[in-house]
A and B are shown apart, each in its own frame.
Chain A
Amino acid sequence: MNLEFIGIFVLWLFLFGYVMVASIDFGAGFFNAYVTLTGKQHILSKIIQRYLSPVWEVTNVFLVFFFVGIVGFFPRTAYYYGTTLLVPVSIAIILLAIRGSYYAFTTYGGLKHKRYTYMYGLTGLFIPASLSIVLTISEGGFVTNETPGPALNYWDLFTSPLTWSIVVLSLTAVLFISAVFLTWYAHEAKDEHATNLLRRYALIWAGPMILTASGIVVELHAHNPEHYARLMDVWWLFILSVALFIGTVYLLWKRQAYGTAFGLLTGQFFLAFFGYGIAHYPYLLYPYLTIYDSFTNEAMAIALIIAFVAGLGLLLPSLYLLLRLFLFNKEYVQGKRNDHT
């Protein structure tokens, strides 16, 4: 195993972490807005608030970790992606900023108004959409190397079916992941109404999610045959992933073992995410950047890996404490304790 590989593996793992926790967060915001609109907020809002409150800042750090890490391990990505992504990423930052601050303003500052609930819900859909554009661009074909520097071709980007399939996948996945997790959480909280409602949402979004995911494989066949061929080399990962998906849906359908259902779902996304990543290897941006030609020097790579291991030694116990106090604490989950400052 070489250093380049360790670097990209660690980053991909954290990106996966971000995709999961952020999906729960974005979806929760959307469902919260949706039930407010349809007048059912008494069923869901409490559950969602209780889960989100202590963890929202942690979600953001996963993202920061990823983008700081990728510039650290692969400094040349700063050049290509930095130059081309100014507009889409700036839009994502602005949405993230509005979302994060207004979350704090409403939750801690008592700025209660339905307007904010709706805004919060909508940003939860726009952010994954704008961030997922980065994945599309990485497939190549949208960036050209011109005289002052690389540039993004917006017309091609926004008329490509691949772009829109990835956007739709990001939305359906967000809603599916979030609904499955919250079903489990509501069940733990012994809140039957919320569990039923969320279970319904999960089942509704399961179909569109798996359909769009399969659609992308087809799109890739046309857009980037090289990536498609490599995807087919690891076909068994995707088959396993689909099997886990079926398991999740089955458990939800049978109203059994919601915790296991969420575990299966995590496995499903893990396999698909890594299958996709392995097939993308070694490219960071087709055809300009691979993990080898953009890699940092050896001294820095080793220093970063040491820092990473030391950092994990600090983080894992603290994350465990956070989960134990809030996620797995029966009294807190069931709303018997609050203790907020």
Chain B
Amino acid sequence: MGNEEAVYFSRGLTELTLSFHIIFATIGVGIPLMIMIAQWVGIKKQDEHYILLARRWTRGFVITVAVGVVTGTAIGLQLSLLWPNFMQLAGNVIALPLFMEVFAFFFEAIFLGIYLYTWDRFENQKKHMLLLIPVAAGASFSAVFITIVNSFMNSPRGFDIVNGQLVNINPILAMFNPAMPTKVTHVLATSYMTAAFLLAAIGAYRLVKGSNHVYHKKGLFLTMKMGLLFSIITAILGDFSGKYLAEYQPEKLAAAEWHFETEEGAPLMMYGVLDNGEVKYALTIPFGLSILAHSNPKAEVIGLNEFAEDEIPPLYIHYLFDTMVTIGMLMIGISFVFLLGFWRRWRFVLTKSFLWIVVFGGPLSFLAIEAGWWLAEVGRQPWILRGIMRTSEAATTSGQVDTMLLLFAGLYLILGIGSMVVLTRMFRKNTVEQELADRASDKAGETV
């Protein structure tokens, strides 16, 4: 296998592992916050339903954490196995947040173990809820630290290269690079948003399938509120991400927007097809791109004509951008209509057809996460460290990457199917109605 093939397969394996890990990572970041909110509401209102929500979510969460942990371990090792040249260089400058991430994991793992095994151990339920704070904080901080590493790849800072040597290294400056604020916050907000819509989808699915229990309605209402909140925040932070790109990575924005010539008052193009360099059938929003890039309809936006041919990312990222933004807007709309309808007692928001839309919102949010990461990563090409190291120079020289790609594909298939099977069995066997009845009789037993 020549080295070109090694690069090709290393890319494939990295794409595969990260695309799989991010599903579980997003759940890992978002769900603890939702559990915490449900448990808090339950304790405050003394409402058994919310406590049970928290409890059932936690049970499912344990399964996804397990898959998150093992796939995360895989990607952590694969970074060195597949991109040894990159890690050798980057390790000198950006190892600090990676190292801090491990402490966040440690913290999360310890308290998750404690949290799981201490339901009902404390007289005061609030004490038990407090144990969840380190879990949620640990998970969110892992996301913060790893996203800092990724933002460094997009806008490397904190060192100079003199005669091929790294000098003047400043790990703190490397962490607080220009891409970091928008990237970290957008990633966090999207995780919370996706977790909320995932849980909403599950509640809606139960209602569609004929359960009419108020438990599901309470859950749905709570998660849709969270979903609306975080999807609005997501869109605002997404807008800031666009402004960041315009300033620091104009080639990524230009490729995502099929913006070929530098111009003032640039329009925003959605969808469409590319025909010999001509954009056709696109939905054009006049001045849209200038507003996204600089908040000013007249502003000048840099186009692809300013870049060398071999430094332009693949143009298909346009569709990834469109997918992400469309889903973002759609989810804001859906959750807004649902909540308005719920308050105003409009019948149709609890009809089957509307609930089905909510059910699809869960997978759609995950699709947006995937599209967003692909946009960010493919849009950085051909660089692995923008402007400093090309992806093709970073890969391993090992000849067995193709076999490993097959092995890992098999592994993820097993893990994916396994977690689906286990999760459905877990909740099918143990229905909400049954569990509420059990808990009520437990309580009665205790007081006798």
Contacts and interface: CB of A to CB of B under 8 A. Distances in A.
Do A and B belong to a common assembly?
yes
Interface residues of B, number: 81
Interface in A16-35: none
A106 to B, nearest CB: 9
B343 interface: no
B398 A314 contact: no
Contact of B166 (A72, A100, A110, A297): A297
B117 A61 contact: no
Interface string B391-415: 0000011101101100110010011
B116 A340 contact: yes
A292 interface: no
Interface in B78-122: 78, 80-85, 87-93, 95-96, 98-103, 105-107, 109-121
A322 B77 CA distance: 27
Contacts of A55: 113
B113 A322 contact: yes
Contacts of A340: 116-117, 119
Contacts of B69: 57, 60, 100
A89 B77 contact: yes
A319 interface: yes
Contact of A105 (B59, B112, B121, B419): B419
Given A79-B84, A109-B423, A97 B113 contact: no
| A interface, over-half SS | helix
B423 A325 contact: no
Q: How large is the interface on A (under 10, 10 to 19, 20 to 34, 35 or more residues)?
A: 35 or more
Contact of B102 (A58, A64, A85, A104): A64
A13 to B, nearest CB: 14
A339 B398 contact: no
Contacts of A328: none
A216 interface: no
Interface stretch (B169-177, B304-312, B321-329, B374-382): B169-177
A89 B81 contact: yes
Nearest to B99: A72
A81 B403 CA distance: 19
A304 interface: yes
B218 to A, nearest CB: 19
B80 A78 contact: yes
B73 interface: yes
B344 interface: no
B388 interface: no
Interface string A84-127: 11110111011011101111110011110000000000000000
Contacts of B421: 111
A148 B3 contact: yes
Given A57-B109, A86-B401, A94-B407, A78 B88 contact: yes
Interface of A: 53-55, 57-58, 60-61, 63-65, 67-69, 71-73, 75-76, 78-87, 89-91, 93-94, 96-98, 100-105, 108-111, 148-149, 151, 296-297, 299-300, 303-304, 307-308, 311, 314-315, 318-319, 321-322, 325-326, 332, 337-341
Given A97-B71, A307-B100, 4 more contacts: A60-B109, A64-B76, A109-B426, A303-B96
Interface of B: 3, 55, 58-59, 62-63, 65-67, 69-74, 76-78, 80-85, 87-93, 95-96, 98-103, 105-107, 109-121, 134, 166, 169-172, 396-398, 400-401, 403-404, 407-408, 411, 414-415, 418-419, 421-423, 425-426, 429
10 contacts: A78-B88, A80-B84, A82-B396, A96-B73, A105-B66, A149-B396, A151-B398, A307-B96, A321-B110, A322-B113
User: What 3 A-B pairs come out closest when comparing CB atoms?
Assistant: A75-B91, A104-B66, A82-B84
